[in-house]
Amino acid sequence: MKVLDDYNFENKKALIRVDFNVPLNENFEVTDINRIAAAKPTIIKVLEDGGSAVLMSHLGRPKGVRNPDLSLKHICDAVSNVIGVAVKFVDDCVGENAEKAVAALQNGEVLLLENLRYHAEEENGDEAFAEQLSKLGDIYVNDAFGTAHRAHASTTIVAKYFTDAKCFGYLLAKEIQAIEKVMRTGEKPVLAILGGAKVSSKITIIENILDKVDDLIIGGGMTYTFVKAQGGQVGDSICEDDKMELAMEILKQAKEKGVRVHIPVDVVAADDFSNTANTKIVDVDKIPDGWQGLDAGPKTLQNFKNVILSSKTILWNGPVGVFEMESFANGTVSVGNFIDQATQNGAFSLVGGGDSVAAVKQFGFENKVSYVSTGGGAMLESLEGKTLPGIAAILA
């Protein structure tokens, strides 16, 4: 695997695909700098070697139209502040202006190109567009895990024009290593905690990880499809009736493979999907009509704690309750605390997938787990066992 440290960037221009698709407020100010900060070590390595950095990214979904609200010029100051170097900007990512700006770039300088998606060719994976991009650097560095599952011009196609001069940036390399640890090289016992609303969105992940894990915790809305499939009463809880057969098949496969499956035994049930609803603790398979399970109950959390603390490698993908409402956040916060404890005891913990990452940030667990993935869709596709095109392009 070619990584940044395999190259010396002295007198070289690094063409770096970053993921600066950051949120902006109504004044076009960056409201979350995490993605910029995540790319900083890669950019600094290039500059400290005595090279220069040409940064390319998308912002939003302009769909090939020059929407001024989605110009990357809005984030220039934020990037400058985070990396500690004044960042230059050019109003296109290909063509004469871009090529002139790159030619004028001195060692130690950083240039940010305009939004790649102002050109429809970017998302179309256009060869000619990728070739134009390739003229803007001597070495291609992909450090954008969040878009590694897309075969776009800047994430995948451009790599073919850098036969022996392409590598992973520090962030992307860390993402690959974290997933490798969970899926292949992690110390046993390996635990996957899968939450969220629907079984259907996690089928391929479950099927792929059953060969890799020793324990599987199922939480969140998915719980009720499994419980109802086994004859339980789930009241008005979210349930995919058409996936009950599949749930039984998953349990059968897990048993055959020796995977221990842990499903909630009690839940916090509510008489309305509301933070102010009446609540009570009930057995997961005895939820009365008119009530719905919205969080894990105390016995369940004790079971989860025992499993988590006895695991050496932990993947967490999806909350175990409706954490967005304070009344039903306890389960997800408790799981975060258990994972924090396990991590302090030497376990490796990886959190990935939109909602679980949101929960980890909301409740302050970001620095209490081993790694928080920066790519939602890319992370999920990796867990499904797919080879991401942006990664394959560097390995080719």
Annotated binding site for substrate: 19-21, 35, 58-61, 117, 150
Check if 137 is active-site.
no
Residue 45 is inside which H or E element, if any?
helix 34-49
- Looking only at the bridges linking them, the beta strands covering 313-317 and 190-194 are parallel
Strand locations in 7-116 (E): 13-17, 52-56, 87-89, 110-112
Specify whether 35 is catalytic: yes
Binding-site annotation, residues:
19-21, 35, 58-61, 117, 150, 202, 293, 324, 353-356
Known active-site residue 260: no
Nearest to 80 by CA among 45, 27, 30, 28: 30
For residue 189, say if its preceding peptide bond is cis, omega within 30 degrees of 0: yes
Cα-based distances in Å from 290 to 120, 233, 234, 294:
50, 12, 10, 13
Q: How many other C-beta atoms lie within 10 A of the C-beta of residue 387? A: 11
Residues forming a β-bridge with 269: 280, 293
Distance CA 396, CA 387 (A): 12
Contact at 8 Å (CB) between 267 and 223? yes
Q: What share of the chain is helix, strand, coil (3-state, %, to 5)?
A: 45, 15, 40
Q: State the amino acid at position 175 in one-letter form.
A: E
198 a catalytic residue: yes
User: From the candidates 64, 108, 354, 385, which is the catalytic residue?
Assistant: 354
Residue 41: both structure tokens together:
């070590």
Question: 10 and 51 in contact (C-beta within 8 Å)?
Answer: yes
**What is the DSSP code (8-state) at residue 115?**
P
Annotated binding residues for ATP: 202, 293, 324, 353-356
For 235, the token pair is 């009241």
Catalytic residue among 198, 305, 361, 386: 198
Q: Given 12, 17, 35, 45, which residue is catalytic?
A: 35
To the nearest 10°, report the CA torsion of 159, 160, 162, 167: 40
The catalytic residues are 35, 198, 354, 377
